[in-house]
Amino acid sequence: MKRTYLLIALFFVLFMGTALNNIVFAQESETTKKANSFDPYWYVNLNAGRSLLYGDLMTTPLNLDKLGKQTGFIGGFYTGLQFSPIFGLRGLVNGGTIKSRVDQTGYKFKSKTHYFGYYLEPTLDFTNLIKYNSDRKFFLYGFAGIGIANMYSDLTNNITGVKTTVYKTGHGPEHYTMSPAVPYGLGTKFKFDENWGVNLEASSFYVLDKKDGDKWDGVVKGLKKDWVANFSIGINYDFTVATNLKKMAANYDLIKFEVTPNPLEMHGDSIIVTIKGTVPEKYMAKKAAIQITPELKYIGGSILLNPITLKGEEVTGDGIAIPYLSGGTFFVKQTIAYMPGMSASDLMANPIIYKPASGAVDTQATVLQIRSNNKFIDVLSHKIADGVIITPMLIKHDEDLLTAADKMVKEKIVSKDATIYFIFKVNEDKIDWRLPLNEKSKVELDDLYSFINQGWKIKNIEVQAYSSPEGRSTINQTLSENRAIAGKNYVLYLFKKWGANKNATEFQKGLVNVSINTIGHGADWDGFLKAVQASDLKDKNTIINIVNTESDLNKRDQEIRKMKSTYKLLVKEILPPLRRTNIKVNSYVPEKTDEQILSSANDKPESLNVEELLFAANLTKDANNQLVMYKNTMKQYDGDWRAFNNAAVIELKNGNQSQALSYLNTANTLSPNNVIVLNNLGAVEAKKGNAQVSLELFIKAQSLGVNEGYNTGIPLITKAKYNDAVSALNSKKCNHNLGLAQLLSGNSQAAIVTLKCAPAAADTYYVLAIAAARTNDTILLYENLMKSIKMDNSFKAKAAGDREFIRFFNVPEFQAIVK
């Protein structure tokens, strides 16, 4: 009786535990769910085995050689629900036969019992009591329950051979003896994979009715209840796609990554990272998730890209859903800023595989948050691409810088003249100093003498003569020519007179290498017209009209003569000053020699004017000396923008960008929108890396008239507008930057042609080596890489890590060059 109560108590404990566990799972906190990370699942089992009876007809001892005759067959089917890692509940239907016999002298019987039963059995997983492991393969469990056992027996007397069926009055289940029973037992299960497994069970059942419990061998002696032991092996199938994180981690390398481009490339000031991934079929567990954080690692730092979240098809939230059966792909694109040091870097993937406890992913969750809230497995970080090609940074900053010119005039001419007047006589070409008009001429001639006597070198002397317009034109032309000769003779006379003086200079003694040019202009109608216009003559408008409308000079004179009273005034007041010869001496102003100017610029800059100071800077090739001269000019003439601009050019060539910018800002203030200053400001910004600002300045300078299209191509390379850069740089052939732009635009062959004829330079040879690497021309590659390193040894270390040459890193010829 105690045994019966004990079994009943065990059943209720297991059953209530299962129910309680189910309730707890429905009400437990989110934190508990996250820690447990278990998904309930259904399962089915088909099993078969042998049964052994211990009862009134039991053979003692058991003969193993006759085990088949002493044991019966059992088969069954059950289905169940695993509520938690520990508790479950199953329904069982089984049946079979039980054999027993006794062979004693005078007492020989055998029996065969037919039975079937149906039971409800709570289960208890002992292995998960210790520690739950969702990836466990081996399980040990126990079960107990309650149900109905049905049976009848065939009893045979081996002595008489008479067979008797007991405990059955007809055919069919309704005629079986039916008893409530408590099944119980132990089992072990081994899982091949997430679904299939095999199990072994040892079980029995306790019939609650004492009398019926003693009928299993067909003999009731009332001494004990017959006891049945069942041993079975079964095939088990779990209806679940298990979230096997370990398996996903083990097979993680089946996920394939394709990074474009590879190696990564820097363009502009950034790197565009494009990642395409392929997840194979039957990999992504339906309730699992993977967070993959790309990371660009380089010496001195690293940068994390936006995480990629993959999720199983039963996981909610944002992320990229990957079906379990078909697998899937993912595609992400991100732009990151280039940082110094990234030229030697690796793009790594940092994966963490986890099962979201809440059933939803949060794409903003950090790795620490995922680890703290979910079951997870960290997968080793692995490289998915190389980085970073920084070839666009190989720009040569050879912008065209503009200097402001001086206005120095080396050959300055100064003139002085005097006029001699003639009386009115036919063919009169002799100078009459008694003429009143010549009183004024004497003063002018004295001034001319003083001018000539300075000793300045005379370029030439011009003698131009005129006649008054009355009379025939041909006569007037001849008369003016004769008067010009008279003027020339007078000049010769003067020099002869001066040369006779005992204190005369060598210059005054003769007109060596000085030309005297004579010109006779004929009648001076222009002078006549101006004099009439300026006069108070009553008929001046009539005279002006005659001059303007009559083209025949002789007729013009005749018409004026008809105005007798007016003509008399003309003869007296207007015509005499027109009868003249003008002597004009053109002399060179003595200038300082280049040597004198250069010496003064260094020793006495205050003695030079601004043009001389600016000119002096062009007389030396010493940039430091030039800078000193420009600084002296700034001090003495701080309002002249040219010195500030030119000093900025030198500072810029010396690498002093901040000082150059300061000078140019001053120049820009003194001369706003000056194309030269704007161009040079653009060069400063280009060297500083401010591509957009420099481009705007260059374009503005061009719009205002400067012809410097080449400069715009350099910031266009920085801005990754390579085709536009090629167009702008084409103004110069065989040029480093043109070759670089051609290379970056994808035209490697054109780049090779351009760079081969460019001026020899270490960086130019290096770019040519890159072009050769891209076209797989190893001979050209090795040749130019060696030239580059020979000129500048720093390119050895650069080439050793440059991802442009990554395909050659392990090639002996390449290694021999960069070691």
For residue 441, give every residue at least 6 positions away whose Cβ sits within 8 Å of its Cβ, in sequence order, or none: 418, 419, 420, 421
Average pLDDT for the chain? 87
d(CA 678, CA 656): 18
Q: Which fold, 245-389?
A: Immunoglobulin-like (2.60.40)
Tokens representing 367?
A: 């790795």
Model pLDDT, residue 768: 97
pTM of the shown model: 0.64
Q: Please say whether the beta carbons of 245 and 135 come within 8 A.
A: yes
pLDDT tier for residue 218 given thresholds of 50, 70 and 90: confident
Confidence of residue 554 (pLDDT cuts 50, 70, 90): confident
Average pLDDT of the segment spanning 25-37: 39
* Confidence (pLDDT) at 503: 66
Superfamily of domain 413-588: OmpA-like domain (3.30.1330.60)
413-588 and 721-819 share one fold:
no
pLDDT value of residue 59? 58
Residue 290: half-sphere exposure toward Cβ, Cα within 13 Å: 28
The CATH number that domain 721-819 falls under is 1.25.40
pLDDT tens for 167-176 read 765 555 567 8
The pLDDT-based confidence of 61 (bands split at 50, 70, 90) is: low
Question: Are the CB atoms for 663 and 651 separated by under 8 Å?
Answer: yes
Residue 18 pLDDT greater than 50, yes or no: no
pLDDT per position as a tens digit, 46-55: 999 999 888 8
Q: What is the distance between the alpha carbons of residues 676 and 670, in angstroms, rounded to a whole number?
A: 13
Give the start-to-end residue ranges of the domains of the chain: 2-239, 245-389, 413-588, 592-719, 721-819
| Nearest of 415, 585, 579, 571 to residue 486 by alpha carbon | 579
Contacts of 473 (CB under 8 A, 6+ apart): 522, 523, 553, 554
Residues 284-307: tens digit of each pLDDT: 999 999 999 999 999 889 999 999
Residues 6+ apart with CB under 8 A from 151: 98, 113, 114, 115, 167, 176, 177, 215, 216
Q: Three-state SS for 10?
A: helix
Give domain 592-719's CATH architecture. Alpha Horseshoe (1.25)
Which CATH number does 2-239 carry? 2.40.160.20
Average pLDDT over residues 141-149: 95
